[in-house]
Structure 1
Amino acid sequence: MQLTKYLALFNSADDRKVMLYSTRRCSLVRLDRETLEQISRGEHDPETCNALASVGIMVDDLDREREEIRVALADALQRTARFSLTLLLNLDCNLACPYCFEDNFRHRQYMGEETARKILDQLLLPQMQLGRAVHLDFYGGEPLLSLPMLKNIASTLFDASLKHGVEFSFDIYTNGTLVSRSTVEELLSLGLRALRMTIDGPKEVHNRQRPFVSGKGSFDLVVANLKAVYELVAVQIGANFSAENWREFPKMLDHLLAAGVKPQMLDVVHFSPIMPKSGAEVGGNHGGHCMNSTEPWLMEAVLSLREEAIRRGFPVAKVKSSACVVDFDNDFVVNYDGTFYKCPIFMGYPELSVGTIETGIIDYSNSHALDRWKCDDCLDCPYLPICYGGCRFFAMQRGGTVADLDCRREYFDAMLEKLILQEQRLGS
């Protein structure tokens, strides 16, 4: 047996020990340095090696492991009996967020009944007839502006799921201003699984970043609506920060606690840097928005905000194996007009469409560079299972194309140990 290629070594508080982290299995073990040196010399203790192999730290054959990683996404898809769709019911909103990534193409458009019917009849219901579970992410704009259509689609699929003996569930990406207890109670009976709401920092920051179209702040209403429903349904809170305001965001957590929100009842709190707008000039001026995961301020912000959340008892996302949604062939975005994309942020680039409800889904393996990470540099990188080539949009914004890599090696070299030890130290 040999140590896995997809391995990171961290220092331990005890100098006699070292921490080994499998990026493929996201497992962490502490090992005596002497034992690690023995393993490196090929002096295998079978019991120790078998224990390490059980958590992905050791493998029988490095070449076979490399090939397993190369085909891992395809194998996972073959084992998955679920079809996922992000469905844009509209491109309209009752907020006027200055950073909205849809600004360049959102003009109060709404999905028509005929388009919705075709999506059901030609795409979603056939998946259920094939025995596949279906999961929807209702998206906008603001999807709750299209509540009657949302209910109709959900009820149709819920009834079909019972008929075909498959699972149906859906999440709603919402700004939170139209959420109500009665609406959530009704939607739970149709398959609602989670709400994904946005609170951009404390009141003064949120109201600047997420005002109503009228200019009035939305913070108080969003928090009140959160309190009304978060014990009924899983709620994920997203918070979008910039280099200028991220230090203010712990105040948001304190406000939620003071308002009586029980952090353990939330699904997750996720802090993200504001992204450049979709459809903007590639490589142009993005007003200080995040362009590179290795920007020093961003790495500081990620660690600090994560720690502040964990310290207060709020759940945060852990480091895990992940890949770009583009790489999954059972996961699509459908715009309000029935146009298909692989990621919501690609909607600003018509050339990245992968078909329509009329024409069907086209072959996008070359246009979206599905094999871009199957190169030696990536396959030999210890961080591949938690990166898979990074974000295509970030690669585009730095003047590249969807075929270019958004290499995260520098980021993980600087951050992975800190993130994992933070989880261990604070018990997240």
Structure 2
Amino acid sequence: MTGAGDGTYLQTSRYNFCLPLASGFLLYNARTGASLRYASDAPREFLDALCRYPARVAAEDIAERTRDRLQRGGFLVETGFDELLEIRGQYLHAKIEAPVIVTITTTNDCNLGCFYCFQKRDASQLQNGRIDQIVDHIRAIFAQSHKRTLHVDWYGGEPMLNRDFLEKASVAIQDACHELDVSYSASILTNGTLWPEDALSFVKTHHIERLQITFDGMSRSHNKTRRHRTVSRENVNQFDAACALVDQLAPHISVDIRFNLSRQNAEEATEFAELGLARGWFAPENKAQLQLAKLTPYSTEVDFLRKVEFTFAEFEEVRNRVRPHVPDGKLDKSASLDSYPSPRESVCAAIAEDSIVIGADGNLYSCGLQVTEPHRNVGQLGRAHTESALHELQFWDGFDPTRAPSCSRCSFLPLCWGSCPKLHMECDTAQLEQQSEFWRVMLPRRLAASLDLSLVPGFALTAVDQFRG
């Protein structure tokens, strides 16, 4: 794309995509989130040229109105404008301004034995004697931060196995926040089998505003997958207990009903959605939503899952079958085809500047997926950093996808910011390639669906579209 003369030149954006529609074309820029629709008689050569990178065009060769639209949308930028530097600034700003989240692993133990669990179960649990150290650590965070909100995520294992600690720590942290004039909220990830009879009073006392509870199919499949690890008279029906907890809390707090989708339970997903409807979980006044999740190996402990996990295309086929059975707004956004793909604005807590994970062993971690990997700790409660902890911390503090060899060349970068940092730490090329596959297939589909347009059947972006220059 070139022009003659000595006039001003503009350059194409690395982040342009041209999608063929049943009628016409859609031009999309991943950095700005802008999109422009063109009729079937639009000059395809011109649109394709906009998606070449690096390339430049003489400003005088484009009609003023068209040129203005392309510049406003970021499809054409001033010569010398560094798009990658712009994205880096947005990414670093998000790291600095991310909310303070303290994840507290009450125990590594669990009363259930899911075969796919990526965590190594052991008897480690936080003792009440650690509470003062936890409060001191939280005070230290706010002593050097301008932020005035704290969110605590109660985590495990099964966090309710160490309920006495949770209750005492919750009160102590809330008291400290009141003293510091810091707003407090909490969430919990639970299997739902160890809750007090009056669950509503419990969440109110401990300011739990969100709960995530996981299902593995209908009753028989769920109970088979989430088997009790020990036999006692107090063992309850896992499925019934989880459903009863959702029944009680859905009218009052946000409940993320996670359904771990696998080849074994895929045929039950629609039936489960209908069960939720019948029990009133997805009533307009309730705050529950269905979160369909692909069963994925989150650590090398469960690498065997790679052989049987769904591809993103297969996973999406199952979600498409479930989608009509769930009311609008009650299916999580990641499963919503009509959610317009906007540039990313937030980072995960693992790389947020002021967030931390407290392990059941008293170690500090950046990532909650590593709480049973003590060699990955980035510090210890009440102790100075060790050399190995500083080495681990250096990775998380320094993680910057805009400087990574592959991510810096990727045209999906503004949408995913490198995906999960842990995948980069572990050089998990298989999972990173899955993320690339997801965007190649799903970006065109989501753009078309969100704008109520029809994509040419079978169209997907390619590695050539993804990596340019």
- The residue number in structure 2 matching 1:270 is 291
- Alignment partner, residue 20 of structure 1: 27
Distance in 2 separating the partners of 1:423 and 1:308 = 18
Asked if 2 retains the 8 angstrom alpha-carbon contact of 1:115 and 1:337, the reply is no
Amino acid at match of 1:350: P
Q: Which amino acid aligns with 2:18?
A: L
For structure 1, which segment, 106-115 or 340-349, has the greater mean C-alpha deviation from structure 2 after superposition?
340-349
Of the structure 1 ranges 195-204 and 260-269, higher mean CA displacement relative to structure 2 is found in 260-269
* Matched-pair contact (CA < 8 Å) for 1:307–1:422: no
- Secondary structure of 2:406's partner? helix
- 1:199-223 C-alpha deviation (Å, 9 max, x unpaired): 2222222122223334864112211
Question: 2:315 corresponds to which letter in structure 1?
Answer: A
One-letter identity of the residue aligned with 1:375: A
1:218 aligned residue = 238
- Residue of structure 1 equivalent to 2:359: 335
Of residues 162-171 and 307-316 in structure 1, the stretch that sits farther from structure 2 once superposed is 307-316
User: Is contact 1:151-1:187 (8 Å) kept?
Assistant: no
Distance 1:6 1:118, change over 3 A: same
TM-score computed with the length of structure 1 as normaliser:
0.81
Cα distance, 1:402 vs. partner?
A: 7.1
Structure-1 separation of matches of 2:85 and 2:447: 27
2:15–2:29 Cα contact (<8 Å) kept: yes
* Structure 1 residues 4 and 148: alpha-carbon distance in aligned structure 2, compared to 1, 3 A threshold: farther
Determine whether 1:11 maps to 2:28. no
> Structure 1 residues 234, 362: CA separation in 2 closer, same or farther (over 3 Å shift)?
same
Equivalent in the alignment of 2:222: 206
CA gap 1:164/1:255 in 2 versus in 1, 3 angstroms: same
Q: Could you tell me which amino acid in structure 1 is paired with residue 313 of structure 2?
A: M
How far, CA to CA, are the matches of 1:88 and 1:186 in structure 2? 18
Q: Within 1, Cα distance between the matches of 2:101 and 2:111? A: 27
Query: What letter matches 2:84 in structure 1?
Result: R
Change (3 A) 1:411 1:29: same
1:59-70 matches, within 5 Å, as 59-60=77-78, 63-70=81-88
Counterparts of 1:331 and 1:53, CA distance in 2:
38
Shift of 1:416: 2.0
- Alpha-carbon spacing, 1:131–1:365, altered in 2? closer, same or farther (3 Å): closer
Report the 3-state secondary structure (helix = DSSP H, G, I; strand = E; otherwise coil) of the residue aligned with 1:235: strand
Task: State the Cα deviation string for residues 72-104 of structure 1 (Å, max 9, x = none).
Answer: 321223334x321211011122222222111xx
SS of the aligned residue for 1:100 comes to: coil
- Cα–Cα, structure 1 residues 271 and 201, in superposed 2: closer, same or farther, change >3 Å? same
Q: Aligned residue for 1:141?
A: 157
Aligned to 1:98, which of 84, 96, 115?
115
**What TM-score do the two structures reach when normalised by structure 2?**
0.75
**Take 1:49 and 1:161, find their aligned partners in 2: how far apart are those partners?**
53
Correspondent of 1:120 among 113, 125, 135: 135
The residue number in structure 2 matching 1:89 is: 106
Counterpart-to-counterpart distance in 1, 2:199 and 2:423: 37
Give the CA deviation at 1:52.
6.2
Alpha-carbon distance in structure 1 between the residues aligned to 2:260 and 2:289: 14
Distance 1:404 1:285 in 2: 13
Say whether the 8 Å CA contact 1:89–1:139 is kept in structure 2. yes
Matched to 2:437, the amino acid is E
Deviates more, 1:157-166 or 1:361-370: 361-370
- Give 1:359's aligned amino acid: A
Aligned partner of residue 362 in structure 1, secondary structure: helix
Q: Which one-letter code corresponds to 1:72 in the other structure?
A: Q
Q: CA deviation at 1:61?
A: 5.8
Higher mean alpha-carbon deviation, 137-146 vs 364-373, is at 364-373
Counterparts of 2:184 and 2:79 in 1: how far apart (Å)?
A: 40
Query: Is the CA contact 1:276–1:289 (under 8 Å) kept in the aligned structure 2?
Result: no
- Specify which of 390, 398, 402 is matched with residue 362 of structure 1: 390
Q: Which amino acid aligns with 1:11?
A: P
Counterpart of 2:390 in structure 1: which amino acid? I
- 1:345 equivalent in structure 2: 369
Show the counterpart of 2:332.
316
Task: Report Cα offsets for 1:223-261 as digits up to 9, x if no partner.
Answer: 121011101001112121223432332221111112232
User: What secondary structure does 2:18 align onto?
Assistant: strand
Contact 1:90 1:336 in 2 (8 A): yes
What corresponds to 2:171 in structure 1? 155
| Cα distance change, pair 229–324 in 1 and its aligned pair in 2 (3 A) | closer
Following the alignment from structure 2 to structure 1, what is the Cα–Cα distance between the partners of residues 126 and 321?
41
Higher alpha-carbon Rg: 2
Query: Percent sequence identity over matched residues?
Result: 22
Q: Give SS of 2:199's match.
A: helix
* TM-aligned CA distance change 1:63 to 1:52, over 3 Å: closer
**Equivalent residues of 1:323, 1:387 under 8 A apart:** no
Letter in 2 for 1:236: D
Equivalent residues in 2 for 1:368-407, closer than 5 Å: 370-371=399-400, 374-394=403-423, 401=427, 406-407=432-433
Q: 1:412 aligns with which of 418, 424, 439?
A: 439
Which range moved further: 152-161 or 48-57? 48-57
Question: Over residues 343-375 of structure 1, what are the superposed CA-to-partner deviations in whole Å (9 max), with x where a residue is unaligned?
Answer: 222234333221211224635355456246513
User: How has the CA–CA distance of structure 1 residues 30 and 263 changed in structure 2, closer, same or farther, with 3 Å as cutoff?
Assistant: farther
Distance 1:404-1:197 versus aligned 2 partners, 3 A rule: closer
Structure 2 counterpart of 1:255, from 255, 262, 275: 275
SS for the counterpart of 1:232 is coil
Structure 2 regions of 5+ residues with no counterpart? 1-9, 51-56, 335-340, 454-469
Asked whether the 8 Å contact 1:326–1:370 carries over to 2, the reply is no
Instruction: Assess if the C-alpha contact under 8 Å between 2:109 and 2:157 holds in 1.
Output: yes
Which residue type is aligned with residue 222 of structure 1? Answer: A
Matched residue pairs, number?
A: 410
Quote the Cα distance in structure 1 between the aligned partners of 2:283 and 2:77: 39
1:178 offset after TM fit, Å?
A: 3.4
For residue 288 of structure 1, the aligned residue among 303, 307, 322 is: 307
CA distance in 2, matches of 1:269, 1:58: 40
